[in-house]
Structure 1
Amino acid sequence: MTRRILIVLHQERSNPGRVAQALLQCGCELDIRRPALGDPLPETMAAHDAAIIFGGPMSANDDLPFIKAETEWIGVPLKEEKPYLGICLGGQMLARHLGARVWVHPEARVEAGYYPIRPTAEGAHLFDDPQYVYQWHREGFELPSGAVQLAEGAGDFPVQAMRYGDKAYGIQFHPELTTPMMDAWLTLAAERLKQPGAQPAEAHREGRQAHDAALRAWLGRFLDHWLPPEAGAGGEG
């Protein structure tokens, strides 16, 4: 049975990268929507088996109609107990939906590049210790009431991965990143690299050589865990 995954993106040129590659390789069908450009979100998850909201340059705190609508909409997969994954902005939206604070670092520090995170006791089955992940964010989120923290950062942004209930996950980092995506971010958003805490561009490329294989393997393991068993996932990207 083909699994149909709702993919929510936030810009015209955004793409779901390696996550899409892994899902397609395991036979899933992708329904890509961009609410920021007018695409509607479904009133029910009856026609979808899971949902993923990706990142974007906007904030979960922005007073934009589509941000508010997406944040509220997360209640649909939660209520219907369908798997939900929030990546960076999508994870921050999940935190806000659950009543937690999304915040800018008081010293305007960011994470941009490869950084180590460590699993909590509850996340030891999902993450290596340490797990190097690719970050590109200037905001973090607090752990919502009732959520379980799965991974923690050693530096400026302590909550790096969480689970709410059995099927909803939020992460700060970007496992979907491909090499062309990294090149585009480093070029089109080079101003981010000037902010405190960001790594220089050459460190991003060196980090990719050192850590990408392990992060790709993590993505396959995580998708196998996150989706219903018969869906499976994994593969190359």
Structure 2
Amino acid sequence: MKPVAIFRYLPIEGPGYFATFLDNNHIPWKLIKIDTGDEPPVDVEPYGGLVFMGGPMSVNDDLPWIEPTLDLIRQAIAREIPVLGHCLGGQLMAKALGGVITQNACKEMGWGAVQVTQNPVAHAWFNDISEFETFHWHGETFSLPESATGILSSPHCKNQAFAIGIHLGMQCHVEMTERMVKDWSDVNYQEIIQMNEPTVQSPAEMEKNLSDRVEKLNHVADRLYAKWITALK
């Protein structure tokens, strides 16, 4: 099996639980560290799938790796090589396929419920799950590409996930580990405590019942990732 290429944009926003899932299923993977100067590959052929993680930048920023990344996503989808996006990664997928990335009505930072959309595509990904608590960390949102089906939403962000066949783009973070939650809240502590938005939790709130929350989220991630890997090349 070809390795899965995982694109990282910030050291503390790595693959998290997704890497654990791949290891548990004996699937090889390669980390491409955009944050340290790695460049996106020109050709998708060496990889069995592409996975894009989160990051603090916007896909609308003038950064040298964005256009090559968008081209790579389009290339993978054209060749039916599965693509998976988390937050920034989901926005990259949306933009590559004709979606628009804009400011969300509010920032979402911390734990919050999301609802599974009532349609056959969503059911194929989530089966009997109708709602779950996940982690959020974003100020922007994507519109749905023309070919996509919305499969997840929240009260503060209509488009939380979309699917196109086996390709899955998410605004929320299902890849979280306990360590990641603590690192994000620690690094951004000053910013968080200065915000006065009901959709932004304090570090203490983010870390409340953390082990239980992460364990439950891992179970949801297991279901999504298990479906996604069925199409790996």
- Taking structure 1 as the reference length, what is the TM-score of the superposition? 0.88
- The CA RMSD over aligned residues, in Å, is 1.9
Kindly indicate whether residue 41 of structure 2 is the aligned counterpart of residue 42 of structure 1: yes
The CA deviation string for residues 12-63 of structure 1, in whole angstroms up to 9 with x for no partner, is: 4542111101101111111111234332323333221111010001011111
Match of 2:107? 110
Q: Supply the AA of the counterpart residue of 1:114.
A: W
What's the % identity of the aligned pairs? Answer: 25
Q: Supply the AA of the counterpart residue of 1:220.
A: D
Distance in 2 (CA, whole Å) between partners of 1:193 and 1:162 is: 32
Distance in 2 (CA, whole Å) between partners of 1:38 and 1:123 is: 36
Q: Supply the AA of the counterpart residue of 2:183.
A: A
Give 1:194 shift: 3.5
Kept in 1: contact 2:82–2:166 (CA 8 A): yes
The CA deviation string for residues 169-218 of structure 1, in whole angstroms up to 9 with x for no partner, is: 10011122111111111011121454322012222122534532221111
Kept in 2: contact 1:114–1:207 (CA 8 A): no
The CA deviation string for residues 121-169 of structure 1, in whole angstroms up to 9 with x for no partner, is: 231343322111111111111111111111111x2210011012x1211
Distance in 2 (CA, whole Å) between partners of 1:221 and 1:210 is: 18
The 1:126/1:211 distance shift into structure 2, 3 A limit, reads farther
Kept in 1: contact 2:116–2:152 (CA 8 A): yes
Match of 2:135? 134
Task: Map 1:202-221 to 2 at 5 A.
Answer: 202-206=204-208, 208-221=210-223
Match of 1:199? 201
The aligned length equals 226
The 1:94/1:200 distance shift into structure 2, 3 A limit, reads same
Match of 2:158? 158
Task: Specify the SS of the correspondent of 1:90.
Answer: helix
Kept in 2: contact 1:52–1:85 (CA 8 A): yes
Deviates more, 1:29-38 or 1:216-225: 29-38
Kept in 2: contact 1:112–1:193 (CA 8 A): no
Kindly indicate whether residue 176 of structure 2 is the aligned counterpart of residue 174 of structure 1: no
Distance in 2 (CA, whole Å) between partners of 1:81 and 1:103 is: 28
Task: Specify the SS of the correspondent of 1:158.
Answer: strand
Kept in 1: contact 2:87–2:170 (CA 8 A): yes
Match of 1:144? 145
Match of 2:226? 224
Distance in 2 (CA, whole Å) between partners of 1:193 and 1:96 is: 32
Match of 1:53? 52
5+ residue gaps in structure 2? none
The 1:21/1:31 distance shift into structure 2, 3 A limit, reads same
Match of 1:27? 26
Distance in 2 (CA, whole Å) between partners of 1:84 and 1:74 is: 7
Kindly indicate whether residue 70 of structure 2 is the aligned counterpart of residue 68 of structure 1: no
Kept in 1: contact 2:2–2:46 (CA 8 A): no
Give 1:230 shift: 8.3
Kindly indicate whether residue 102 of structure 2 is the aligned counterpart of residue 119 of structure 1: no
5+ residue gaps in structure 1? 232-237
Distance in 2 (CA, whole Å) between partners of 1:187 and 1:35 is: 23
Give 1:229 shift: 6.5
Distance in 2 (CA, whole Å) between partners of 1:230 and 1:58 is: 28
Distance in 2 (CA, whole Å) between partners of 1:3 and 1:208 is: 35
